[in-house]
Every structure is written in structure tokens, then in C-alpha cells.
Amino acid sequence: MTDAFKIWSYLSSQPLLWLCATLFAYWIGDALFVKSGRNPLVNAVLIAIVLLSLMLWATGTSYEKYFDGAQFVHFMLGPVTVCLAIPLQANLMAIRRALLPIAAALIAGSCAAVGSALGIAWLLGADHTLLATLSPKSATAPVAIGISQGLGGEPTLTAVMVIITGIVGAICVTPLLNLIGVRDWRARGFSVGVAAHGFGTARAFQVNETAGVFASIGMGLNAVLTAFLAPLFLRLFQ
């Protein structure tokens, strides 16, 4: 019988183990999310990240080693961004019918997200790298990671910011907009799509179909706008 050490040294030199672990960790996270009745607090991605981090820590594996395997999943961020064109194109008619409110809310919401995120972090003493890391956090993850990389931020930290933003938005959107009395489902969906990307969009679809469609429009448009706004606002806080 080959001893366990030899098997382990084989596995840790190959991408197989960590690719497999990534898929299983997400599967577990997603199963728990479904089981919780799709509670936005029980987030599949967050659960997967915690499980994998614990595994890396327990086995003394470096992030670089892990990424050798996980890069195959990571690669799909590019194609999945291109795929966002499909829901966006399908809703072009709905966009045309509410063109002005959409344009105004997009610009206002996106500026509010990027501007206030940078302003608050800057006031609390964040350095340039951290500001660049935070600036795209309302955009959908694949886009935010690309923007952060381009601006000299820390893409891995941006991914975590994006996820936390999504969770905060998904949890707070309904009570918050009830509080200020916004009843138009288009406005409710669109604003959470802009501010909290895919997580907000998924939440909007749970609450109301129209809200969901407008949230996906908001998410798609904000992905494009944030790519322009993040470098502009970043220059203000230097």
C-alpha cells in the first residue's frame, strides 16, 4: 500500500483536488441556502469561501497552490460576463419604455455607490490600494474584479467586498424601501440591481417579477457605468 504522504504529495501537485473541493464547497453552500428557504443571510458563496478557507488552513495549503486548481472555475468569470448580454438584450424593450427614469437612476445610484464608498473609506484613513479595491464593489463580481485589477486594487479583496455588498443590499432593500415609501416595483428593482448586483437581483426576483427584470437591467448597465466612474472618482480621492 502506498503511504498517505505520497498520495497527498501527488494530490497537492495537481489541480484536481482543489477544483473538486471548490465545486463541492459551493454545492454544500447552495444546498444550505435552498434548505433555509432562500434566506439571503445564508449565502452559498460565503459558505463555500469559509469552508475552503478552513480546508486550506487545516492542510497548510497556500492560496497560490489552491488557485492552481480553482483557476478553471475562475476562468469562467469572463464568459459569464459576456452571457449577461442575454437578459440585458431580452429586456431592451422594457428599457426603452422607461429610458429617462432608468438613465437618471443609473447615474445617481452608481455615483452614490462609488462616491460614498470612497468618501467614507477615505475619511476613515484608507490608502490608495484600499480605495481602488472598494471603488467597483457595487458592480457584478466578474466586472468588479477586472476594474479593481486595472486600478491597482486587490482583486481578491474586491471579490469579498462585492459579496458583502450583495448580502447587505439583499437583506436591507425591502425594509429600507418600505420605510421611505417607494412603491414602484421598477424603481425598487432597478435601484437594488445597481447597488447590489446579482444578489440584489436574485432577491428582487423573489419579491416581484417586474422588480427582478428591472434589477437585472440595473445590474447590467451598472457593470458598464462603474468601469467609467470608478477611475474618475478614484482620482478625486488621491
Partner 1 sequence: MLVPAFAIILLFQLVGEVISRALSLPLPGPVLGMVFMVIALSMFPKLGDMVTPIAQGILRYLALMFVPVGVGIVANIPTLEAHWLAISASVVVSTLFAIVVGALTFVFVARLTGSKADD
Number of C-beta neighbours around residue 62 at 10 A: 10
Burial grade of 154 (CB within 10 A; 0-12, 13-18, 19 or more): middle
Q: Please, which of residues 2-21 interact with partner 1 by CB under 8 A?
A: none
With CB under 8 A as the contact rule, the residue among 11, 32, 42, 126 that binds partner 1 is: 126
| 215 lies in the site for partner 1, by CB under 8 A | no
For the chain, the farthest-separated pair of C-alpha atoms sits apart, in whole angstroms, at: 71
Read off φ and ψ for residue 184, nearest 5 degrees.
-65, 115
With CB under 8 A as the contact rule, the residue among 168, 205, 207, 237 that binds partner 1 is: 168
Q: Which amino acid is at 76?
A: M
With CB under 8 A as the contact rule, the residue among 17, 191, 204, 233 that binds partner 1 is: 191
With CB under 8 A as the contact rule, the residue among 198, 203, 217, 233 that binds partner 1 is: 198
Torsion of CA 67, 69, 71, 73, to 10 degrees: -120
Q: Which is nearer to partner 1, 7 or 120 (CB)?
A: 120
Q: Which is nearer to partner 1, 5 or 57 (CB)?
A: 57
Q: Which is nearer to partner 1, 11 or 44 (CB)?
A: 44
Q: Please, which of residues 36-55 interact with partner 1 by CB under 8 A?
A: 44-46, 48-49, 52-53
Report the C-alpha gap between 204 and 141 in whole angstroms: 18
CB 136, min distance to partner 1, A: 10
With CB under 8 A as the contact rule, the residue among 17, 132, 161, 217 that binds partner 1 is: 161
| 169 lies in the site for partner 1, by CB under 8 A | yes
| 192 lies in the site for partner 1, by CB under 8 A | yes
| 217 lies in the site for partner 1, by CB under 8 A | no
CB-based contact 139:162 (threshold 8 Å): yes
The DSSP annotation for 41-103 comes to TS-HHHHHHHHHHHHHHHHT--HHHHHHHHHHHHHTHHHHHHHTHHHHHHTHHHHHHTHHHHH
Binding mask 134-153 toward partner 1 (x if CB under 8 A, else -) reads: x--xx-xxxx-xxx--x---
Q: Which is nearer to partner 1, 7 or 73 (CB)?
A: 73
| 110 lies in the site for partner 1, by CB under 8 A | yes
Cβ contacts of residue 52 below 8 Å, gap of 6+?
Answer: 21, 22, 25, 66
